[in-house]
Amino acid sequence: MTALFLDLDGTLLEIAATPETVVVPPALPVLLDHLRALLGGALAIVSGRSIVTIDQLLKPFKSAAAGEHGVGLRFDDGTTEEMPAGLAVPEAWRDSLRTLAERWPGILIEPKQHGCAVHYRLAPERHDDVWKAVRALVPDDHPLFRLIPAREAVEIGPRATSKGFAVERLMAGSPFRGRRPIFVGDDFTDEAGMSAARRFGGEGLRVAEMFKGDPALVRGWLANNAERLGGRPLPQRMSAGASA
């Protein structure tokens, strides 16, 4: 039996100019709910967004989930876990980043409960400036926080967790335990989740390689293979062209 771990932005949803302008296809929550039922609950959304935001975007669908790259976890039975509990980016750092956004048009700050992301998609020429600024706040050897590269963005988040950690925690319990995990993702942060899935005998599918970088093909693959995903493990390697 299969377990599905799905990234959100860039995997199920097309990347938008800003986090707030992302578009959720109306059929997606229905598709995810169908897949979750076929998998007996063994479907999790694993995202850099918070679990609250995941639920808002995919409403009324709700499942096991990992938010902020594994800092927040919700299990299939609805219980939640925060790891490490209470750790959050200092307010002084947030103030510093907000000052940058005021100084540099096009820089957007996405505050999160535990971390903070800086988006420069609308001002790509500020790439070096943004990275210099966040490195000044979070050196490589900082004991509690790390810099997380993303698509035309960089995030400050707790060092103790990752999407790989989220997969491991969810795979330890019902209904994921003993299943073959498939992790689908598009970004640097998804690599840890893919590696964890492989350690459990599963697959890590990169959107760029398997689905031509197109979330619509990911959604099509999920819809076209729903019964297979719910009924038996997938082959070791798959062709997006054949299955999307």
Residue 90 CA to residue 103 CA, distance in Å, equals 21
Active-site position among 7, 9, 187, 190: 7
Token couple for 20: 């707030």
Q: Are 180 and 2 in contact (CB under 8 A)?
A: yes
Q: Can you tell me whether residue 225 is helix, strand or coil? A: coil
H or E segment to which residue 223 belongs: helix 215-224
For the CA atoms of the chain, what is the radius of gyration?
Answer: 18
Q: How many CA atoms lie within 13 A of 2 on its CB side?
A: 27
Active site residue 7: yes
Residue 237 CA to residue 22 CA, distance in Å, equals 31
Residue 63 CA to residue 43 CA, distance in Å, equals 7
Residue 241 CA to residue 244 CA, distance in Å, equals 6
Q: Are 108 and 122 in contact (CB under 8 A)?
A: yes
Catalytic residue positions, numbered: 7
